[in-house]
Amino acid sequence: MKDFSQTEEQKLFRNSVRSFVDREVIPTAQELDEKGEFPRELFQRCAVNGYFGLRYPEAVGGMDADFFTYCIMMEELARGSLSLGAVVAMQTLMGTDLVFRFGTDDHRQRLIEPALRGEKIGTIAMTEPDFGSDLGGITTRATPTENGWAITGQKMWITSATMADFFTVAAKTDPEAGFKGIDFFLVERGMPGVSVGRKINKLGVRASETSELILDNVQIPSANLLGKQGTGFKNLGEILCQIRVMTGALALGLGQAALDSAIKYSNERQQFGKPIAEFQAVSHKIAEMGTQLEAADALVCRAARDIDAGRRDVKLASMAKLFATETANFIADECTRIYGSYGFAMEYDAQRYYRDARFLLYGGGTSEILRTNIAREMGVPANRKK
C-alpha cells in the first residue's frame, strides 16, 4: 500500500513488520506450507509484536491503530506467507470483532483480552456444507430455551477450528426471515455438543488449518447472543467492508511476492546467451504485472482511507476486493509462466503463490457475488432475498 499520505509513524510501522517478515516468515514459509500445520511459533511472535490488538482500543490491550495501518500489516504478512496472513486475519478481525462489540464484560476479559495476547484463539463459523455465498439459507438453528439458546447445525471451512477456544457462530433464530433471521452466538470449546470434525486438505494456504464444526444441541446462556435478536446480518455488515478491503490488502502482499520472485528469476535465468528478462515477451509480462498491482494498490488504499473516514462504501470495498484478488491470481499465474517448467516444481515458491492466490477469491464474497453487489450499487437491479 503506497498511499503518499502515509504518516511517518505508518512508514516506521511498515518497516518494522517488513523486517519481521523478511527475517522470520519468509525463511519458513515453504516449510509451513509443506507441513500444513498451524504456525504456532509465528502466531506467538505476532502476539508478542502486538499485531493481534492493532485495531482494538487500548482498554482491552490493543493499540487503537487506524484501519489503513492494519491493512499495511496484513499486506506485509501475506507477502511472507498467506497462510500466516489468513490466521492473523481471523484472530484480529472476523474471529474476535463481534464478541468484542456485543459480548459481555466477562467475555471481553476472559476471551478477547487473552486473544489479543495470543493466549486464546477465536474464529467465526458461518459457511455450511450447502451454503456459502447464500448466507441467508443456512440451516444451523438457534432455538430459545428456558435459560438461553440451543444450537444445532454443521459448519464447514472454519479457519483455525482445530485450535480455537471460542467460535462466533451464525445461526437462524427465525427460519422464515432470510437474512433478517440470522444471529450470531458465542460458543466455547468444551461446551457439551461442540466438536471439531475433519480437517480439510486444501490446495493452498495449507498452514491455515480449516475444518468442520459440529454443533449438537449446544446449550448456551442468553448472554451469548451477540447483539439483539434479528440484528446479526446488520452487525456483520458493519465489518464486511473491512473484511473485503483487508482481503484486498492480503492480495497486494501475495501479488508483490509473486512479482518480486518473477523479476528475480527472470534476471537470473539464462536462455540463448542472455537473461530471459531481456526478451520482450517476458519484460512485457512483468510490466503488465506491475501495472495491475499498482492499480490494485491505489484502489485498496482509497477504500481503506474511506473506512478510516467513517464511511462504509459497499461498492468501493467490493471493487477493491474484486480487483485486488483477481490481480493477485493474474500475477501468480504469470509468475509461473515466467518460471516455465520450474514454475511447476514444488521446490520453487512460484507454485505456492499460484496455489495460495486461489484462497483470496472466496472469503469476503466470491468475484461473482461482488460483481452483483457492485452492479446493484451502480443502479443495476438484481434479485436479492429480503
Same domain, 109 and 142: no
Is residue 384 a part of any domain in this protein? no
CATH number at residue 103: 1.10.540.10
CA atoms of 30 and 18, how far apart (whole Å): 18
CA atoms of 11 and 2, how far apart (whole Å): 10
Each residue's pLDDT expressed in tens, for the chain with a length of 386 residues: 777 788 999 999 999 999 999 999 999 999 999 999 999 999 999 999 999 999 999 999 999 999 999 999 999 999 999 999 999 999 999 999 999 999 999 999 999 999 999 999 999 999 999 888 888 889 999 999 999 999 999 999 999 999 999 999 999 999 988 889 999 999 999 999 999 999 999 999 999 999 999 999 999 999 999 999 999 999 999 999 999 999 999 999 999 999 999 999 999 999 999 999 999 999 999 999 999 999 999 999 999 999 999 998 999 999 999 999 999 999 999 999 999 999 999 999 999 999 999 999 998 999 999 999 999 999 987 655 54
Question: How many C-beta neighbours within 10 Å does residue 180 have?
Answer: 17
* Final residue belonging to a domain, choices 94, 116, 138: 116
CATH number at residue 221: 2.40.110.10
Same domain, 171 and 271: no
209 burial level (CB within 10 Å; 0-12, 13-18, 19+): buried
Number of domains within the chain: 3
* Final residue belonging to a domain, choices 87, 116, 145: 116
Is residue 383 a part of any domain in this protein? no
CA atoms of 273 and 279, how far apart (whole Å): 11
- Its domain, for residue 171, covers 122-228
Is residue 69 a part of any domain in this protein? yes
Same domain, 83 and 32: yes
Same domain, 130 and 88: no
CA atoms of 122 and 91, how far apart (whole Å): 6
Is residue 386 a part of any domain in this protein? no
Same domain, 18 and 35: yes
Question: How many C-beta neighbours within 10 Å does residue 326 have?
Answer: 18
CB 165 within 8 A of CB 120: yes
CATH number at residue 263: 1.20.140.10
Same domain, 103 and 140: no
Of 324, 323, 327, 318, which Cα lies nearest the Cα of 365?
A: 318
Same domain, 284 and 318: yes
- CA within 13 Å, CB half, 359: 29
Write the CB contacts of 171 (distance below 8 Å, at least 6 apart in sequence). Answer: 138, 140, 141, 142, 151, 153, 182, 183, 184, 185
Is residue 3 a part of any domain in this protein? no
Is residue 273 a part of any domain in this protein? yes
DSSP per-residue string spanning 136-203: GG---EEEE-SSEEEEEEEEEEEETTTT-SEEEEEEESSTTSGGGGEEEEEEETTSTTEEEEEEP--S
Ramachandran assignment for 157, one of left (phi > 0), alpha (psi -120 to 50 degrees), beta (any other): left
Same domain, 335 and 241: yes
Same domain, 237 and 373: yes
CA atoms of 309 and 47, how far apart (whole Å): 28
* Final residue belonging to a domain, choices 89, 116, 143: 116
Is residue 151 a part of any domain in this protein? yes
CB 275 within 8 A of CB 264: no
Same domain, 202 and 271: no
Same domain, 250 and 344: yes
Is residue 208 a part of any domain in this protein? yes
According to DSSP, the residues that pair with 155 across neighbouring strands are 213
DSSP per-residue string spanning 223-291: GGB-SSTT-HHHHHHHHHHHHHHHHHHHHHHHHHHHHHHHHHHHHH-EETTEEGGGSHHHHHHHHHHHH
Same domain, 174 and 102: no
Question: How many C-beta neighbours within 10 Å does residue 241 have?
Answer: 25
